[in-house]
Copies of this chain bind each other. A is one copy, B any other.
Amino acid sequence: MAVEIERKFLVKNHDYRHMAVGSTRIMQGYLSTEIRATIRVRLCGDNAYLTVKGANIGSVRDEWEYEIPVDDAMRMLERCAAGAVIDKERYRVPHEGHMWEVDEFHGHYEGLVVAEVELSDENEEVAIPDFVGKEVTGNTRYYNSVMASADNLRVVDGRLV
C-alpha cells in the first residue's frame, strides 16, 4: 500500500513536450467512484492495472495498484465502467529532481492539459517548471473519476467549467 501525495496544476504552454523523456497513451475508466473507495481500471501502453484509492485526507490518500491482464481490463472498461472512458497522452517530464506527469486529454476533454507531481511528504518543496500554471490540487472537478462520471463538465480556455 502506498500513500499518495500529489499536487496538480493547469499548464500555460506546450514546452513540456520537448522536455519530456517519453509519453504513453492511457485509457481508463472507473468501476466505482464512491467516497470511501475509487476503483480504477487503466490501460497504459501494453500494460493494465486495477487501482483502489481510499478517501482523500487533505492531499494524502491510500492507494493500492495491481497489474492485471490487458484482456481483463478491456472487458471491464467495456462492460463494467460507470460513465465515460478517459483517454489521454501522458508525458513524463523530469524537472529539478522531480518527475512531472503531464496529461493531454482527448475526446470530450480535448484542450485540457494537467500537470501533476508526486511528493514523498506533504511539506516537501518542489521547483515549479515554467510551463506550469494555476494550482488545482484538491479541486474535485479535476479528479479523473469526477471527469469520467460528470455529464456537465467541458473545457473552456484550457479549464474545466
Contacts and interface: CB of A to CB of B under 8 A. Distances in A.
Interface stretch (A68-76, A119-127, A140-148): A68-76
Interface string A24-66: 0000000110101101000000000010101100000010101
Nearest to A75: B1
A81 interface: yes
B1 A37 contact: no
Interface residues of A, number: 23
Interface of A: 1, 31-32, 34, 36-37, 39, 50, 52, 54-55, 62, 64, 66, 68, 71-72, 75-76, 79-82
A36 B82 contact: yes
A75 B50 contact: no
Contacts of A1: 71-72, 75
Given A32-B32, A37-B31, A39-B32, A80 B52 contact: yes
A15 to B, nearest CB: 39
A45 to B, nearest CB: 20
B80 A37 contact: yes
Contact of A36 (B37, B71, B80): B80
Contacts of A64: 68, 72, 76
Given A1-B71, A34-B31, A52 B50 contact: yes
A82 B34 contact: yes
